[in-house]
Structure 1
């Protein structure tokens, strides 16, 4: 089984008020995106694909030489970013999607996510966590079997759904074939006009494919 990471590193990071892309800012002397790449490799990932966009040359020169590159010239959502890497997604791959600005993600967390995904035979698994105040985050809604039913964004959640304290981390594990097929069915019929990676979850469920959620906060 080939584990492949797709790392989202195309954004501007405007809230940092910096002339440099967010993912190349250093934490403990190492670029954030390279922390993510290092932990991916330690967890068993064989291949790394970085999605670049804003100041792509600046980011690219900081990456390991064996990193595969896909370009996202327009930032049209997380789903659109992963679409840019479609040529690298093979049917027999296990794909983990990570964000380039999450330097604190742990090797143990990714290994447990991979194990959970494979053991349960899921087509997609979302890494989640539980927080006391979930305001602003996408809520995890599970079905009667504790599998993932849907991810509901704050603005779309009803009062009952807003009570859920399990939230989406933005890290996902996918069966390669299922991800490729779902990306082909993504649309941008929403208020933001963007392609959301979370919509692949609904697409897979509508096909009758099992999708799950691994709560990383249960790791001791």
Structure 2
């Protein structure tokens, strides 16, 4: 039985922001949200978030995202505990004493500003803690440059003998590169017994959770395989560094799974994206949110895909696609914009400078260039001429345009919604169509051309 407590009370003054540090985003999700998601595979019996600065903002943010992401995870309801004064990590955990007074299991303590910890690492920490019956088990890491971090000294069995702050280390002790990651698994009844004994007799006048190590019997250290997992966020530079690490992991994994990246350094991929083998990502391609791209598709160069599903053998060049569906064998771009739940069928062409908004497009339909189709439904084998526009907004409401199979619009046509064009309709170039058109018809909706010979302004 494991409960999880996340420390999320600090402001993060080095972020130079009024936003609580844990609400800054990394790869599309807040830092603290990432920490919570890393705990999902652990199936904790309780989830506690210790809040302080911006408590309402943190609480509201997590409640909103948890309601969205927790539907299929069956996690316990989030509990929020307020630390009104930020007097250190030990003081934060002291605030749990009333809340966990009857709890007899283990408590996993995480930091809301350490967003790269992997579930496998946390599972290993908990398993070792239980196997050895430790009073506490802490996560440690071997840093190449450990300056500024407290050093962890262990015996041959990895039992912790001493934690020495960097400023207090001797020259010999500084050669030890094993540092305390600030992640712990405690046997809660033993921790609860000694928490009131913590003292703030240090330069910061704070209560440190590390001091519990010296008050508990059998504390063990577990070394993380990749020290980058425990990197904390205290500045914008740290945030950028963490994003670089996250991208390195994501892109390495996808390339190992059969995805080709022409220039990985210029590509960014959220870790929520799903890719199939034989997808090709061109330079300057950016994949965001809950995007799925199927095999054989070629994305980019210079494209942004967000919260969209891309079928097989699709080509997208220099385009933006958000919240949309694109079926197999379709070509998008260059310089197209699909948004607002556009749904494009199989074998279509959506060409340069075309915008689709909340529009459904049937199979084998071409919208080759210079068009805006908003709130429209197109059938199969439709051909949209250059410069065709759906006038979907009357100043108060949006209205829908329906275009039947095999219908063709001429260049510079304006379709004023609400409007229905039947099947096999031809719209003459330059028409402004305001009334429904029946099947198998030619519609010409423009003024007759007038020519006046010898017309020019007379000079005075």
TM-score by length of 1: 0.92
Matched, 1:215 2:226: no
Partner of 2:33: 34
Matched, 1:82 2:81: no
Alignment of 1:88-127 (within 5 A): 88-89=99-100, 90-127=102-139
1:145 CA drift (Å): 3.8
Alignment of 1:4-153 (within 5 A): 4-64=3-63, 66-89=77-100, 90-153=102-165
**Whole-angstrom distance in 1 between the partners of 2:158 and 2:2:** 26
Matched, 1:162 2:174: yes
Alignment of 1:153-192 (within 5 A): 153-192=165-204
Q: Figure out how many residues of one structure are paired with residues of the other and give that number.
A: 214
Partner of 2:207: 195
**Whole-angstrom distance in 1 between the partners of 2:158 and 2:213:** 15
Q: Residues 158 and 222 of structure 2 are in contact (CA less than 8 Å); yes or no, is this contact kept in structure 1?
A: no
1:106 CA drift (Å): 0.3
Runs (4+) of structure 1 exceeding 6 A deviation are none
* 2:116 aligned counterpart, secondary structure: coil
* 1:217 aligned counterpart, secondary structure: coil
TM-score by length of 2: 0.45
1:91 CA drift (Å): 4.7
1:134 CA drift (Å): 0.9
Q: Residues 43 and 108 of structure 1 are in contact (CA less than 8 Å); yes or no, is this contact kept in structure 2?
A: no
**Whole-angstrom distance in 1 between the partners of 2:203 and 2:113:** 26
> Which structure is larger by alpha-carbon Rg, 1 or 2?
2
**Whole-angstrom distance in 1 between the partners of 2:190 and 2:120:** 25
1:144 CA drift (Å): 4.8
Bigger helix fraction: 1
Q: Is there any run of 5+ residues in structure 1 with no aligned partner, and where?
A: none
Q: Is there any run of 5+ residues in structure 2 with no aligned partner, and where?
A: 67-76, 228-460
- Note the aligned Cα RMSD (angstroms): 1.5
Deviations 1:174-212 (A, max 9, x none): 0011110120211111222110000000011xxxx2110
**Whole-angstrom distance in 1 between the partners of 2:97 and 2:6:** 13
**Whole-angstrom distance in 1 between the partners of 2:156 and 2:124:** 23
Deviations 1:68-91 (A, max 9, x none): 111111111110011111223345
Which of the pair has the greater relative contact order for Cα pairs under 8 Å at 6+ separation? Answer: 1
* 1:184 aligned counterpart, secondary structure: helix
**Whole-angstrom distance in 2 between the partners of 1:111 and 1:145:** 20
**Whole-angstrom distance in 2 between the partners of 1:21 and 1:91:** 30
1:40 CA drift (Å): 1.2
Deviations 1:85-105 (A, max 9, x none): 122334522101100011111
1:6 CA drift (Å): 0.8
1:53 CA drift (Å): 0.5
